[in-house]
Structure 1
Amino acid sequence: MNRKTLVLPLTAALLTPLLAGCGGGNESRAIVVGTTDQFVATTDAPAPLDPAFAYDTGTWNVLRQTVQTLMHVPRGSGLPVPEAAENCGFSDKESESYRCELREGLTFADGTPMTAEDVKFSIERVLAIKSDNGTAALLSDIDTIETKGEREVVFHLKAPDATFPYKLSTPVAGILSKDKYDGTKLREGFEVDGSGPYTMKTETSGDRVTKFVFTKNAQYKGDITLRNDKVELRPFDNASTMDKALRDSDIDMAARAMSQAQIKEHTDKPQDGIDLTEVPGLEIRYLAFNTKAPAVEDKAVRQAMAAVIDRGALVSKVYGPTAEPLYSLIPSSVTGHATSFIDTYGEPDPARAAKLLREAGVKTPVRTTLDYTTDHYGAETAEEFEALRDQLNATKLFDVQIKGTEWAEFRPAQKRGDYAVYGLGWFPDYPDPDNYVAPFLDSDNFLNTPYVNQSVRDQLIPQSRRQADRAAATPVFDQIQKIVAKDVPVLPLWQGKQYVAARDDLTGVEWSLNTSSDLLLWELGRGNA
């Protein structure tokens, strides 16, 4: 086993590749990829693969293979480039009108022509359905959509938004056939009809997907180059069973998400025929608060937690070298990062936390529960929350319990406001500081949080989006991060690295998972790298 490390520097939140990709010839034998993401249709979420609803990394990774977008982020990351579009750009100096022209001869996988009306329908459908998953918030800046002929579409925005090309590259802006999808309601189940690089068939057991089979779409026209004809994506219950399948040659690659123990095992005791590859990652983990819940409604309680949680000890105990402490919502490798939490609270200090609670008249110990999901973010999540509980309870200022729930139940309950304090992870929709702020603080946000800061929503976020030079927006993001540290609607914990383990005859592995944890299956091939 050769351990590979692909190090890509980030400048202005963008990545520049240092290594050339490895190509492999197309073969009919499917490449098999494992994931610990689960795909479940439930009463609360009956349409997990509908672009108007899907808003987690796992479902987006399915949609990226099957549904085309006007723009996409190219190999190695960087500024979005046209995908279904032939060209796109702002057509006014104020950056409030964005024009795209479709490629000639585009069709859906069934051969039906794709037109500008399908683009308009797809975007307006997301905004009309406005699911409680927070998906529509990415496109909420759109005022009206105009079509001109069969190939031209113009988005008129409510306000300038330099991040809009990124938003058009996400699956929420996936182009659907107006003949196959209802414009007013979600499509239930696991079927997807699109014009992406692959067509898809699904195998299920009850309400769960057991296998996705992606086959090269002969009708596809776009910017993506496929290096294979067929890929299978197989969900595993946990990282251990996925790793065993790799070692037994039942799968070719273990993608999301390997545990720290497995990464260490592959490093310390390498197995012939398997390579471990580190790829850049922008994942963050955080605690979030229902600021209307009695236990944490008082800001002093949330501030006291921020003052005593020891991120360094947490990371060292649970994640080792695969993560590092995070002191703001924006990770350290992204332009706009600050250290607002350590600037505000300093090193962990129970005496400071006690003073905050005492001055606010809060009775101690504060009793609450930390809720987390057992099957969505990796094998160490339970251990992480045990460590957080122990840290808080050791101060005698808190009496904390923890509770784990499967994602299919956890996410609906979190959106309903059932939890006072809960843990989530965030993989960016696009590599820009805006996407570490707006999904948590803007209207119709991902968290469905009751917390509102009008200055952030009405002034600072719009102000940041007016800056075409994203580095110029840094002072605005600094203000936002100071407000977050003061009010603590969310509490950043750590940012992580990404690892992929694969059979050594697989090529393109280093490009198959980008910084946003997008799984780019078309990059994989077979042969000697």
Structure 2
Amino acid sequence: MLCLALLVAAGFTGRQLLADGEKSDPIVVGSGAYPTSLDPAAAYDDGSWALYSNIYQGLLTFSAGSARPVPDAAERCGFAGQESKVYRCTLRTDLKFSNGDRLTTHDVRHSIERITRIEHAQGPAKLFDTLDTIRTRDQDIEFRLKTEDATFPFKLAGAAGSIVPSGSYPEDGLLRGDRAIGSGPFELADYRAKKHAELVPNDSYRGAQDKPSGPVEVRWFTEAGALKKAWEQREIDVNDGGLPPAELAELNPSDPDITLTEHSGTDIQMTVFNTREDSAAAERPVRQAIAAVLDRQRLARKVHVGTVEPLYSLIPQGMTGHGTPFFDRYPEPDTAAARKLLEKADITTPVDFDLAYSKGPTATREATEIKRQLEATKLFEVDVRGYEWDDFLKGLSKGSYDAYNLGWVADFPDPDTYTGSLVASGNATHNGYSSKEIDSLVAEVRRKPERDQTVADYRKIHERIAQQVPILPLWQAKDYVLTRPDIAGSQHLSDNSGVWRLWKLERL
């Protein structure tokens, strides 16, 4: 899903929440990735999906550290027969929404169908492009697919599979107001957009996840430096990676006042090119020339102070199918090679294009460094433009930019989330890119049920992407979480499944 690649923020004071009938101090979590909507039909960004995984429930989910979907609202699920064209689930019988209403198979069908019916520009409808019809009978649900799709269970297990009550979420319109109703581990007790969410344990939750030990308050920060200040002033208990790169690099894991969790992440940053005819990046040689001169090593070292790893494939390290196709084709920054590409295509230089990004101090430095590198070749002139996150997403969905820096977080632990979601026709980046060859290859590899045997297939696809360059991978993040010493569970907070496990946090 789309994400703010580097998160910065601003805080405010908290309050006590009720848990089990008594007052209890909530664990306060600071984050910069705020939700853009409370409606699963209208959001495909990491801030929204992180919250959804706590207040909504799907038929399936991912357990911590597992790459395979497991039943959550369902008792059991599986494909019917050898082909992956009919997927069936049996719903649990003891499920309720947080408002007390019974959760039924009608609600499940309603939830998925409204996503595809509304087809919101910033929603996840594209994930269900292989879905044909949904049938329900008593506790049974049957999904009939247009083509074989072994990744379909992964999509149901992500936030796009969030189940909402049919009586509160319209069939043809979006949720109004700030009262989200779900059946997940937490109930949303209070919500202020871009400010905070108060979460209390949902006593009615029945499913695969652990029940929360107590309330959690999430505070979102939208101003540079404010999350750092909130952490330093001990206003938050958990800092979910929102420190400037220079300060992350200086953290001391042996400091007794903090617990630092660090592991290789699968979040990536990329430059996306608008391939429509009216874009300055429409011609392939322009995109290839940019790929030929960009210095990722310098970007990671100078802007991010070594807190990220240069990336040469849209599939990050640690994921099936990872390779280095962009390094193989463009091994070192080479101005002469870039000039030759443009001259051969009779493209006048310097090529003038705009580069958009979501505002933030580090994001600004990153865009400025890319501009500096490209303009140093005398082959490009780059107009760098920063936008607020919401405005950035709107412009992106309209195809308003020639190029734009964009972060991506895995929807689920399978390479299709870095492939079909990013480079198939109608992809989530809204860059207008379409290739019959790529679409055919994506459809073919989706049919394969043994996902760990798809390495060669995905490398073949991404070799084609390195040649056509609709998207240019920049770097892969490392995950950092800071907690106070009396907070446990941060090592399970997130992984490459897209699930944000706030219920794993507990106060010692």
Shorter chain as denominator, the TM-score bin is over 0.9
Following superposition, the deviation at residue 168 of structure 1 comes to: 0.7
> Contact 1:371–1:419 (CA<8 Å) still a contact in 2?
yes
Matched, 1:32 2:38: no
Query: 2:81 aligned with 1:92, yes or no?
Result: yes
The TM-score normalised by the length of structure 1 is 0.89
Q: Determine the C-alpha separation between the residues in 1 that align with 2:191 and 2:96.
A: 26
SS in 1 for 2:180: coil
Greater shift after overlay, 169-178 or 187-196? Answer: 187-196
Match of 1:289 among 265, 273, 279: 273
1:209 positional shift: 3.2
Alignment counterpart, residue 354 of structure 2, candidates 365, 369, 385 = 369
Which is worse superposed, 217-226 or 438-447?
Answer: 438-447
Match of 1:127? 116
Q: Distance in 2 between matches of 1:386 and 1:407?
A: 18
Report the Cα distance in structure 2 between the residues aligned to 1:406 and 1:115, rounded to whole angstroms: 39
The residue identity in structure 2 corresponding to 1:484 is I
Residue of structure 2 in register with 1:62 after alignment: 51
1:505 paired to 2:486: yes
Residue 271 of structure 1 and its aligned partner are, at CA, apart by: 5.3
Say whether 1:322 aligns with 2:318: no
Q: Specify the alignment match of 1:438 in structure 2.
A: 420
Query: Which of 265, 268, 273 is the equivalent residue of 2:257?
Result: 273
Tell me the residue number matched to 1:456. Answer: 438
Q: Within the alignment, does 1:163 sit opposite 2:145 as a pair? A: no
* Equivalent residue number for residue 287 of structure 2: 302
Normalising by structure 2, what TM-score? Answer: 0.92
Asked whether 1:264 is paired with 2:249, we answer yes
Residue equivalent to 1:225: 210
Which residue of the other structure, out of 157, 161, 166, is the alignment partner of 1:178?
166
Residue of structure 2 equivalent to 1:4: none
- Residue 401 (structure 1) aligned to one of 376, 383, 393: 383
Give 1:346 deviation, angstroms. 2.4
* Equivalences for residues 413-424 of structure 1 within 5 A: 413-424=395-406
Report if aligned partners of 1:52, 1:125 keep a CA contact under 8 Å in 2: yes
Equivalent residue, structure 2, for 1:18:
none
Aligned partner letter, 1:298: E
Q: Deviations over 1:4-44 (max 9, x none)?
A: xxxxxxxxxxxxxxxxxxxxx9983211000112345xxxx
Query: C-alpha separation between the residues in 1 aligned to 2:403 and 2:178?
Result: 32
Select between 499-508 and 292-301 the one with higher mean Cα deviation: 292-301
Q: How big is each residue's C-alpha offset from its partner over 1:347-383, in whole Å with a ceiling of 9 and x where there is no partner?
A: 11000000000000011111112111114xxx42111
| Contact 1:55-1:134 within 8 A present in 2 as well | yes
Change in Cα spacing, 1:418 to 1:92, as seen in structure 2 (3 Å) is same
Return the letter of the residue paired with 2:120.
S
Identity score, percent: 39
Distance 1:509 1:294 in 2: 44
SS state of the match for residue 380, structure 1? helix
Written as runs of structure 1 = structure 2, the 5 A alignment for 1:245-264 is 245-264=230-249
Moved over 4 A (4+): none
Q: Which amino acid aligns with 2:429?
A: L
Q: Secondary structure at the match of 2:251?
A: helix
- Residue number among 63, 68, 72 corresponding to 1:79 in the alignment: 68
AA aligned to 1:411 is: L
1:240 matched to 2:225? The reply is yes
CA RMSD in angstroms, aligned pairs only: 1.8
CA drift of 1:272 comes to 4.0
Residues 158-202 of structure 1, C-alpha deviations (whole Å, 9 max, x = no match): 111111111111111111111111111111343211111111133
Helix, strand or coil at the partner of 1:75: coil
Aligned to 1:466, which of 414, 428, 447? 447
Q: Partners of 2:290 and 2:379 in 1: how far apart?
A: 9
1:105 paired to 2:108: no
Equivalent residue for 2:16? none
1:360 aligns with 2:345: yes
Task: Look up the equivalent residue of 2:44 and give its one-letter code.
Answer: Y
DSSP 3-state at the match of 1:283: strand
Which of 386, 392, 403 pairs up with 2:368? Answer: 386
2:482 counterpart of 1:493: no
> What's the offset of the Cα at 1:516?
4.5
Per-residue CA deviations over 1:224-243 (Å, capped at 9, x if unaligned) read: 11242200000112463212
| Contact 1:369-1:420 at 8 Å conserved across structures | yes
How many residues are treated as equivalent by the alignment?
487
**Counterpart contact for 2:272–2:406, Cα < 8 Å:** yes
| 2-structure distance, mates of 1:246, 1:282 | 25
Provide the rounded CA distance (Å) in 2 between the counterparts of 1:39 and 1:130: 18
- In 2, distance between residues paired with 1:462 and 1:83? 27
Structure 2 counterpart of 1:195, from 183, 186, 196:
183
Q: CA deviation at 1:203?
A: 4.1
